[in-house]
A and B are shown apart, each in its own frame.
Chain A
Amino acid sequence: MTEESVRFLDIGMRFGATVALVGINLSITEGSYVVLLGPSGGGKTTLLNILGGFLEPTSGRIEIKGEDMAGVPAAKRPTATVFQDYALFPHMSIEGNVAFGLKMRKVPRAAREIRVSKALAMVKLGPVAQNRVHELSGGQRQRVALARSLVVEPSVLLLDEPLGALDLKLRRQMQDELKAIQKRVGTTFVHVTHDQEEAMAIADTIVVMNRGSIEDVGTPERVYLRPATRFTANFMGESNILTGRVTEVSGEFVTVATANTNMAVRGTVPVDYEVAISIRPEHLHTEDKSGRIQLGTGYVTEYGFRGTHHQCTVRMERFDTPLRVRLPQSKIPASGEQLTLYVDPDDAVLLDR
């Protein structure tokens, strides 16, 4: 079950003097849903285009199911792409769009018709098979693009910000659908987005990219709860970053002296190193419980109700930057209120970089 679908080996890409990708090494497991997440200009779309065969990397190699893809054009790769603007054929019916790839592969008419109607049924577009593209809504076009790519049964389906053009509600609905379809067909999906909520909702594996290199790879839970780098901690939701110096190493734990307190966190860094610790706003508490460390006291400068919680900004004594804290719905903060903050050492994450 852990068969390898795609492997990037030391991929580098430059456009003239601009370096777009550097030293990308990544393995993608067969049948998994992988999300490349990062800010625009992070290199995620470039990587997708290299995988799809639309760009030749300046260095490194790509293997799909163990086969070297160097010099193999997009048409000959076992990949299919769902483009951001869908890139549907406006002069064909929906059915014509979906049948296109099969026609190019010279699939006989009878077999083609069966596969097309199956694909359209999968994305619930059977009833509009004869319609033209311009008659469909944005969400429907997105499904046509998906059906058109999946019908050719690619080894890897590439999705370039497929939900970017949809409004928020439709986007959340489509991401559940995408995930369900991926589980049903079992094809490896590689999905590019800059929306971290979307990434967490659908990914089996999140690949966080920034400035042309990979920052972090892991399950959504791993990447969110134990981010490897400062960038990941900030990009995947909100984070409070505390800096300090390692004063003691004992077993799996190191003790870090921050501005306010000494904290024992999981990690392996030699004594005297400057490190950063990430704490999620929802991991800061106002009650003391056994095992929690006191971070110090501060006062509320800003607050707002966010439905599931109250979002507060708390200015701490001796801290350079204020902390972001999420208080429970029942605890209504007041401006200037004094708070004492506690954290579970397990929720404090030592960042590698």
Chain B
Amino acid sequence: MASSRLFRNFPAISYVVLIYGFIFLPVVVLVLFSFQDSRIPIPPFDGPSLKWYGAILDDRRMMDALFNSVTVGLLSSMVSVVLGFLAAYSLARLNIPGARFFQGLLIAPLTVSYLIIAMGLLITFTELGIPKSLLTVGIGHVVINMPLCFAILYSQMGEHQANVERAARDLGAHDLQVMLLVSVPMLWPALFASFVLSVTFSWDEFIIAFMVSRFDVTLPVEIWSMLRSGLNPKTNAVGSLVFMVSFVVVLLLDVLISRTRRL
């Protein structure tokens, strides 16, 4: 009976296998050949070996880039969340003339390609005489992530939350207390989600980081310059690391959100 059902569902199952294969095969290949023993990451697989991971950890430039990526990711995401929250709070709660216009203006960058944003930033920084550095990369990442944080947080500030804030005010809380004691704790899952999403976007963002950085670079830029000297299992290893970090962070987010959802 089980086999007949399997047979009946065969087209559906093979479709699912194909789809997931299509999505995940490149990642699987990348990760698999990061454990390759020989110098060329192509079949046949002759691992497993961890020597390429060791090589990365020994690579001073790679480790610097990793540290830069983490710093830029955390700081730019923090700024994005704070700015996004303040913008969402004021547009959702205060009677600002033209609120819808400002809302549209804030979300608009989401539709612009990173390449265009990168070029715009490059021109602006050059014009203003701001030297290219990790700071400018961070500013670039705030530019792309703040609209996202704004959109997520704004969508969570509904009528019910507004009423709870009203209750707090009614009980004698002043504006800052309402924000810190009620709005922020109630929005905590959304704040955390937008922070983590920002970190992952910043973590593997390449074009902006490439165009507005100079000597200190982030990990994707470092990987790119490494790729120019040809494929080797070391690139696979660092790629796998980047992927795994993103994966773990998203997993963490999912667990946390589903735990707080029950409140």
Which residues of A have CB within 8 Å of B263?
90-91, 132, 134
Given contacts A74-B170, A83-B166, A89-B186, 19 further A-B contacts (CB under 8 A): A54-B170, A75-B169, A75-B174, A76-B172, A83-B163, A83-B167, A87-B164, A87-B166, A88-B164, A90-B164, A91-B186, A91-B188, A91-B263, A100-B181, A104-B172, A104-B177, A105-B172, A132-B263, A149-B170
Chain B, Cβ-Cβ closest to A158: B170
A73–B164 CB distance below 8 A? no
The verdict on A152 contacting chain B, using a C-beta distance below 8 Å, is yes
Taking CB atoms, residues of chain B closer than 8 Å to A91 are 185-186, 188, 263
For the complex, is B117 an interface residue (Cβ under 8 Å from A)? Answer: no
Q: Give the chain A neighbours of B181 by CB distance below 8 A.
A: 100
Residue of A nearest to B159 (CB): A85
User: A52 in the interface, Cβ–Cβ < 8 Å?
Assistant: yes
- For residue B189, give the distance in angstroms from its CB to the closest CB of chain A: 10
A148 at the B interface (CB under 8 A)? yes
The answer to whether A89 and B182 touch across the interface, beta carbons within 8 angstroms, is yes
Q: In the assembled complex, which residues on chain B have CB atoms less than 8 Å from the CB atom of A74?
A: 166, 169-170
Complex A-B, nearest 6 residue pairs according to Cβ-Cβ distance, in ascending order: A101-B171, A104-B172, A87-B167, A91-B185, A87-B163, A87-B164
Chain A interface size range: 20 to 34
Q: Does A208 contact B (CB under 8 A)?
A: no
Chain B residues lying within 8 Å of A313, measured Cβ to Cβ, are none
The reply on A81 being an interface residue by CB < 8 A is yes
| Contact present for B171 and A80 (CB under 8 Å) | yes
A residues contacting B by CB (< 8 A) are 52-54, 73-76, 79-81, 83, 85, 87-91, 100-101, 104-105, 132, 134, 148-149, 152
Tell me whether A75 and B163 are in contact in the complex, defined as CB-CB below 8 angstroms, given that A90-B263, A104-B177 are known contacts. no
Contacts of A89 in B (CB 8 A): 164, 167-168, 182, 185-186
| Contact across chains for B186 and A80 when beta carbons are under 8 A apart | no
A90 touches B169 (CB 8 A): no
Residues of A within 8 A of B168 (CB): 89, 100
CA distance in complex: A101, B170 (Å): 8
Q: Does B152 sit within 8 A of A, measured CB to CB?
A: no
Q: What distance in Å separates the Cβ of A124 from its nearest Cβ neighbour in chain B?
A: 22
Select which of B173, B188, B262 is within 8 A of A134 by beta carbon.
Answer: B262
| 25 A-B pairs whose Cβ atoms sit less than 8 Å apart in the complex | A53-B170, A74-B166, A74-B170, A75-B169, A75-B170, A75-B171, A75-B174, A76-B172, A80-B170, A81-B170, A83-B166, A83-B167, A85-B160, A85-B163, A87-B163, A88-B164, A89-B182, A90-B164, A90-B263, A91-B186, A104-B173, A105-B172, A134-B262, A149-B170, A149-B171
